[in-house]
Amino acid sequence: MTDFPINIAKYISSIKESGIVICLHIDEYDTLVGWEGDLGYLGISDLIINQPITNQLGFLEGMLPATDTIVLRFVSFAEGYYTHVHIVSYNNNTYVLLFDATFEYEQQQKMQQQINDLKLLTLYKDQLLRALEEKNTSIKQVDKFKNQFIIKKLQSLATACKKRFY
Amino acid sequence: MGILQKKICMIGDFSVGKTSLVAKFVRQTFSDKYLTTVGVKIDTKLLTLPNGNQMKFILWDIAGSESLTTTTASYLRGVAGFLLVVDGTRLPTWNSALNLREAVEKQLGNKPFVILLNKADLQDQWEMDEQVIEEKTKQGWKLLTTSAKSGMNVEEAFLELALLMT
């Protein structure tokens, strides 16, 4: 357990995310100073204080130290758990706030799935139409050759008949 | 010496197979069912390099997008390298990949990357232009034909990126 600055508390109350689940306090050397919240709720097994945070939560690799506030929407670092991550810089320290986004994720995922499925269906329909058009063109081409061949044959037959009867 | 940890991002249009490639690489699993990713899914994998050194990949599997949105850009912070995934059976996803690469370069500067022409198991539906690929290879770009389904070049793709980062 750790004490969090009033400014961080103010930040949390100022944003529109649903309930905060975990708050991490990280110093300027990327070491975990303290944390509060229910780790298991977001699929995190354990955290060790005074140890580098990037070794414990790999997703923070490259993210620290934060110089400004970073918001990452719908982050999943454990199967079935989704969070909105806010990385807030304050007094040379970084505060990582994890908000549960599982319900919101499920809604969003269903919607996005339908959009993408529809896009794919449209694309496949276009591909089939293109293939159909190509087939149609080649059939027309074959027909044209066939007709030309028949005309030539008929003409040569007519010439042969003329020679025979006249 | 500690194990080197690198943040890697998977980027590309929707339904190109980013999640499937990660699943194959990390868990040796594959599913034909398409499940849209929303936000970002984070996985880790320890890789042994040809020189015997080990590298820990923090894999960010980012929701598919044809262009770089502000949300996608926030996920890219601190990235060490990226895999640009293309669906070889959908030519527009190649153009999306080119746009994304250019946008990432503008945002983060030159970062190592490998282009993966995925879904090689669907060769009868292949839409990629060999000449364009050859042209990019001549420019020094790394391109690999992959299949998350068969596992073709999956390990090699991640290893190739690891080597570009050492």
The CATH number covering residue B96 comes to 3.40.50.300
Q: Which residue on chain B is closest to A104 by alpha carbon?
A: B38
Residue corresponding to tokens 């955290």: A47
| Token pair 């809604």 in the structure block, residue | A107
- The answer to whether B93 touches B86, Cβ cutoff 8 Å, is yes
Residues of A in contact with B41 (CB under 8 A): 76-77
Distance from CA of B12 to the nearest CA of A (A): 14
Residue A141 confidence (pLDDT) above 70:
yes
Within 8 A of A58 by CB-CB distance, chain B residues are 5, 42, 44, 56, 58
Chain B residues within an 8 Å CB radius of A61: 5-7, 58, 78
C-beta atoms surrounding B4 within 10 Å: 16
Contact predicate A99/A86, CB 8 Å: yes
User: Which tens digit of pLDDT belongs to each residue from A73-118?
Assistant: 999 988 888 999 999 999 889 999 999 998 999 999 999 999 999 9
Q: Tens digits of per-residue pLDDT, B86-111?
A: 999 999 999 999 999 999 999 999 99
Q: Do B6 and A123 touch (CB under 8 A)?
A: no
- Residues of A numbered 38-97 whose beta carbons fall under 8 angstroms of chain B's beta carbons: which are they? 54-55, 58-59, 61-63, 70-77, 82
The half-sphere exposure of A142 on its side-chain side, counting CA atoms within 13 A, is 6
Global pTM? 0.87
Domain of residue B37, residue span: 4-164
ipTM: 0.90
Q: Please tell me the CATH code under which domain A6-100 is placed.
A: 3.30.450.20
The HSE-up count of residue A9 (CA atoms within 13 Å, CB side) is 6
Nearest to A8 by CA among A23, A29, A28, A26: A23
**Closest Cα of chain A to B134: distance in Å?**
25
What would the pLDDT profile of B19-33 be if each residue is shown by its tens digit?
Answer: 999 999 999 999 989
Q: What are phi and psi of B41, to 5 degrees?
A: -110, 130
The answer to whether B42 contacts A77, with C-beta atoms less than 8 Å apart, is yes
Bridge-based pairing of strands B54-62 and B4-12 is parallel
How many domains does chain B fold into? 1
AA letter at B136: K
Q: Is residue A1 predicted with pLDDT exceeding 60?
A: no
What confidence score (pLDDT) does residue A2 get? 62
Q: Note the Cα B84 to chain centre separation in Å.
A: 4
